[in-house]
């Protein structure tokens, strides 16, 4: 496997930042344990979400931006594997009550939020990223979800909120994390499974074994075509018995193209609606953000003339 220098995502034609909305909301909710509005409503997730978004925009400096929300589980994946993501608990009540407020913030801040009923955010994000890259834009996906590593290319990078360095992940970081190339990530996940999504892998095959198989054979098709070459015998037997499972898993973990029906220009941030945003910030008790929203003194004087 090549260990050469990674190609940095091109940033020559503007850039699109795609934020995994639910993932960021959950991260914010658990990062800040207690924060409430003057009327007692929980606001910890809202505050953390807004701060995370501000930091991402400062890091990436995108010309286009979209926050993508989950619209439900894929019917196709549930048909293939009814237990898909079945182990996930219900969203905490205090977080659920803040989700609409985050959407209201985006609208007031002139930012686009996208949600399509029956479509998973992962597939929407993948579709937006692939389309933008094909049109010549650089793309940064803000999420810690390992599924997105399969999208990394010369034009698509990842901003992992768990990576405190703030680096935009390229194929180099994907190789370091997984042992495989971005194009092999779906095959890697299909072999070892994904406990986060309740997808069981081949018994006895973990991340390192899956990576070693792909480093040697290149792809799933070659692994199963040359199964007699796999050693030791117990691994060969496990793969042979799990062939149907691996094929199913690949269809579960591979990110699908879905219709987005939004022109690129629609993802350009609009001017902030100061009045609406100020009302939201005041209601949440975010005094620091409210003060930062106030126009500078010369601008305020000009408005009074």
- What is the tens place of the pLDDT at every residue in 84-103? 999 889 999 999 999 999 99
- Please tell me whether residue 271 adopts helix, strand or coil conformation: coil
How many whole angstroms separate alpha carbon 29 and alpha carbon 22? 10
Residue among 145, 114, 144, 148 nearest 129 (CA): 148
The helix, strand and coil proportions of the chain, stated in percent and rounded to the nearest 5, come to 55, 10, 35
Helix-then-strand count for the chain, H and E: 14, 8
- The answer on pLDDT for 7 being more than 60 is no
The residues facing 15 across adjacent strands are 138
CB neighbour burial string for 214-250, b if at least 16 within 10 angstroms, e if fewer: beebbebeebeeeeeebeeeebeebbeebeebbebbe
How many whole angstroms separate alpha carbon 157 and alpha carbon 57? 15
Percent of the chain with pLDDT over 90: 85
**Domains of the chain, each with CATH number or no CATH:** 15-169+257-287 (3.40.50.1010), 182-253 (1.10.150.20)
Residue among 157, 150, 147 nearest 180 (CA): 150
DSSP 194-224: EGGGTEE--TT--HHHHHHHHHHHSSHHHHH
DSSP 164-203: TT-PEE-HHHHHHHHSS-GGGHHHHHHHHEEGGGTEE--T
Q: Is the distance from CB of 16 to CB of 267 less than 8 angstroms? A: yes
Q: Indicate the average pLDDT of the chain.
A: 91
How many whole angstroms separate alpha carbon 220 and alpha carbon 8? 28
User: pLDDT tens for residues 17-41?
Assistant: 999 999 999 999 999 989 999 999 9
Supply the pTM of this predicted model: 0.90
User: pLDDT tens for residues 201-243?
Assistant: 999 999 999 999 999 999 999 999 999 999 999 999 999 999 9
The residues facing 68 across adjacent strands are 20, 114
Query: What pLDDT was estimated at residue 164?
Result: 79
Residue among 100, 84, 75, 83 nearest 25 (CA): 100
Average pLDDT score over residue span 172-179: 95
- The answer on pLDDT for 6 being more than 90 is no
Average pLDDT score over residue span 102-117: 97
- The answer on pLDDT for 8 being more than 70 is no
Q: Tokens 């997730």 identify what position?
A: 45
Percent of the chain with pLDDT over 70: 92
How many whole angstroms separate alpha carbon 149 and alpha carbon 167? 14
Query: What pLDDT was estimated at residue 166?
Result: 83
Average pLDDT score over residue span 76-87: 93
How many whole angstroms separate alpha carbon 1 and alpha carbon 183? 13
- The answer on pLDDT for 172 being more than 50 is yes
Query: What pLDDT was estimated at residue 82?
Result: 94
Query: What pLDDT was estimated at residue 302?
Result: 45
How many whole angstroms separate alpha carbon 293 and alpha carbon 272? 10
User: pLDDT tens for residues 266-299?
Assistant: 999 999 999 999 999 999 999 999 999 987 554 4
């Amino acid at each position: 496997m090549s260990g050469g220098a990674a190609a940095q995502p091109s940033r020559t034609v503007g850039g699109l930042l795609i934020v995994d909305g639910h993932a960021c909301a959950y991260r914010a909710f658990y990062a800040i344990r207690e924060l409430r509005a003057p009327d007692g409503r929980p606001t910890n997730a809202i505050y953390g979400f807004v701060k995370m978004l501000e930091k991402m925009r400062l890091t990436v400096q995108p010309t286009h931006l979209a926050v993508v929300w989950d619209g439900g589980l894929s019917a196709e994946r549930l048909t293939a594997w009814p237990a898909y993501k079945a182990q996930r608990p219900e969203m905490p009540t205090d977080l659920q009550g803040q989700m609409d407020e985050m959407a209201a913030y985006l609208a007031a801040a002139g930012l686009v939020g996208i949600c399509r009923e029956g479509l998973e955010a992962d597939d929407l994000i993948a579709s937006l990223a692939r389309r933008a890259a094909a049109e010549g834009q650089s793309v940064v996906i803000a999420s810690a979800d390992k599924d997105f590593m399969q999208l990394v290319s010369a034009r698509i990078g990842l901003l992992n909120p768990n990576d405190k360095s703030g680096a935009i992940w390229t194929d180099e970081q994907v190789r370091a994390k997984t042992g495989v190339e971005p194009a092999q990530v779906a095959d890697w996940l299909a072999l070892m499974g994904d406990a986060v999504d309740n997808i069981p892998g081949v018994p006895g095959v973990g991340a390192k074994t899956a990576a070693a198989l792909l480093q040697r054979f290149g792809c799933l098709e070659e692994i199963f075509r040359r199964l007699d070459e796999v050693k030791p015998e117990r691994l060969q037997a496990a793969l042979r018995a799990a062939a149907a499972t691996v094929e199913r898993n690949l269809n579960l973990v591979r990110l699908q193209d879905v219709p987005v029906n939004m022109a690129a220009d629609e993802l350009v941030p609009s001017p902030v609606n100061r009045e609406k945003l100020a009302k939201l910030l005041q209601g949440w008790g975010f005094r620091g953000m409210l003060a930062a929203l106030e126009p500078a003194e010369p601008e305020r004087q000009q408005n009074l003339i």
